[in-house]
Structure 1
Amino acid sequence: MAIKQQRDTSFEGKVVLVTGAAGGIGRAAAVAFGRAGACVVVADTSVDGGHATAAMIVEGGGKALFVQCNVTRAAEVEALIDKTVAYYGRLDCAFNNAGIEEESQPLADTDEALFDRIMNVNVKGTFLCMKYEIRQMLKQETGGTIVNTASVAGLVGAPTQPAYAASKHAVVGMTKTAAAEYARNGIRINSVCPGVINTPMMARALEREPQREKKLRNVHPVGRFGEPAEIANAALWLCSDKSSFVTGHQLAVDGGLTAI
């Protein structure tokens, strides 16, 4: 006899914000949160991609609102949180996933403008999101949870990616600091640190340098890249009550890359 699978309702009634949700890891997480019962706010600079993600959530029986937002602009991030609260009444969880990776050069050859762009999106963007999310969560008796997308490049060195590694080390530092600052306020803050994941961003990188694919696969002991859904699962766990005693943690989801 077939066993009926029970619907996941672990985020029923929760309001969840996901940035960088127009594709890749962000889209996978937004859809997973929606499937688990959350009211999801999909945020991205891409209007078409953001609306498509929101439509996927609704088609799956969930609730979603798309808000266009550039996370490097304080006024837009503040407005994003205001719209979230105006529409859903609160903010329970945030997955700060928006980020870029556009380099493959040794440090001495890295362009200054590229360095500034990567730091602006990955570091300032995460800082601004946490700033306004935490302000809202402090108003709520139940606090909230925040997960930032860092990277294995935030845990170890990443040759030919000095700006990206610097930005993700900064995300790890901000995550630890904010977790310590707001733990007594009922706000848990962690980061997820992916290895190489099959995303459009990675596909573009391999288009530029197809010779890197074999090497990148081989640095993962499991012998493959990760999938966006695998990072989404980790983000959901860190946002859920199942990780209630976890804060200030950097969860490597990397196929064993940082184990060797």
Structure 2
Amino acid sequence: MATGFPVKDKIVAITGGGSGIGLSCAQTALDAGAKAVIVADLRLTPEAEKLVTANKNVVFETCDVTKWKDLQHVIDASEKHFGDVPDVYIASAGVFEPPYSNFWDDPEGLDADGYKAVDINVNHPIKLTRLAMRALLGKSKRGVVAILASMAGYIKQYPAPIYVATKHAMVGFTRSLGDAEALQGVKVVAICPGIVSTPIWTTGTPGSGKRFGITDQVSITADQVAKVVLDTVESAKYPGGTIVEVSMLGTRVIPEWNIAPPGGVEGETAEGSATPEDAIQRVIGSILQVTEKEKGARL
């Protein structure tokens, strides 16, 4: 049976903690009484720098989530600074069809080892979960892994197939590890936000916010998502394997079968819970320009 897991007096490690949802999760964890927070990211935004500077129990660990040694270093940093491995692991680092790794522009050549976006959005949270499980078992303690997935994990979106595929992977991965709470003492859950106002639309993938029609009218804030992350981590009503959606329409648990659109009417999602259709059509236009140039081209 699932039990509660208060963050108070716990150590929380957050990948992607230098901005956006990850940074909001760091502040939310502190507000909930966390003993310490490890902010893991490539760099800190000015807001994140203020958080680290102002709190002696917040440590920044430089982390490239595509490098598994860096993920282990996050755990090592916790033991070094706070004498124990983290209790809570939040996989928040992620990208949305960035210019260096996306399906339609296809910038990665045949000599690449794979899609960088898949390494960030899929391989990173999977490996972090395994490292977290090993660390917690080694200390004979319970813990929680919370993965930031997306509503894209159970919908389709023609302009962003890699992003959608990676989030589908995280939903399936989380569901598959539902039994880990009882068998290994590690609760693995996923939070699936709708559209969120974060740097992923600006600095992460420059110009994508404008192309996809992302405005405050259709977005929730990173702080709103962080509160749901905290509740999902702490509350016994969300056992391992649970998928929690949060959007402008509120929160709901996503069932394994027969998922209804949020606020759906005749199979369509309500306004504010998905990318505006007119924006999708604009993006498709730019995709067609790319593929038209490929017609008749020699490989």
Q: Does 2:32 align with 1:45?
A: no
Deviation sequence 1:193-225 (CA, Å, 0-9, x none) = 011101111245573462532xx569xxxx531
8 Å contact kept, 1:34–1:62? no
- Closer, same or farther in 2 for the Cα pair 1:127/1:160, shift >3 Å? same
8 Å contact kept, 2:91–2:147? yes
**2: CA distance, partners of 1:124 / 1:108:** 18
**2: CA distance, partners of 1:127 / 1:166:** 15
**1: CA distance, partners of 2:208 / 2:176:** 36
**1: CA distance, partners of 2:131 / 2:103:** 36
| Residue of structure 2 equivalent to 1:31 | 27
Give the superposition deviation at 1:62.
6.7
8 Å contact kept, 2:98–2:117? no
| Residue of structure 1 equivalent to 2:212 | 212
| Residue of structure 2 equivalent to 1:258 | 262
Work out the percentage of aligned pairs sharing the same amino acid.
23
8 Å contact kept, 2:39–2:61? yes
8 Å contact kept, 2:13–2:74? no
- CA radius of gyration, larger in: 2
- Closer, same or farther in 2 for the Cα pair 1:209/1:94, shift >3 Å? closer
**2: CA distance, partners of 1:190 / 1:251:** 8
Structure 1: gaps (5+ residues): 1-9
Deviation sequence 1:123-182 (CA, Å, 0-9, x none) = 111112111111111123331011001001111112210000011111112212223245
Alignment size in residue pairs: 239
| Residue of structure 2 equivalent to 1:3 | none
8 Å contact kept, 1:16–1:92? yes
8 Å contact kept, 2:181–2:240? no
Amino acid paired to 2:38: V
- Equivalent position SS for 1:258: coil
Q: Counterparts of 1:7-22 in structure 2 under 5 Å? A: 11-22=7-18
| Residue of structure 2 equivalent to 1:224 | 218
Q: Counterparts of 1:232-243 in structure 2 under 5 Å? A: 232-240=226-234, 242-243=235-236
Amino acid paired to 1:247: G
RMSD of the alignment, in Å? Answer: 2.7
Give the superposition deviation at 1:35.
1.7
Give the superposition deviation at 1:244.
5.6
8 Å contact kept, 1:156–1:258? no
Q: Counterparts of 1:89-100 in structure 2 under 5 Å? A: 89-100=84-95
**2: CA distance, partners of 1:188 / 1:224:** 31
- Equivalent position SS for 1:109: coil
If each structure's helix is expressed as a fraction of its own residues, which one has the higher value? 1
| Residue of structure 2 equivalent to 1:152 | 151
Q: Counterparts of 1:1-260 in structure 2 under 5 Å? A: 11-38=7-34, 39-46=36-43, 48-49=44-45, 52-53=47-48, 55-56=50-51, 59=54, 63-88=57-82, 89-102=84-97, 109-111=104-106, 113=108, 116-204=115-203, 207-208=207-208, 210=210, 212-213=212-213, 224-240=218-234, 242-243=235-236, 246-256=239-249, 258-260=262-264
Structure 1 moving runs of 4+ over 6 Å: none
Moved more, 134-143 or 91-100: 134-143
Give the superposition deviation at 1:69.
0.8
**2: CA distance, partners of 1:196 / 1:53:** 22
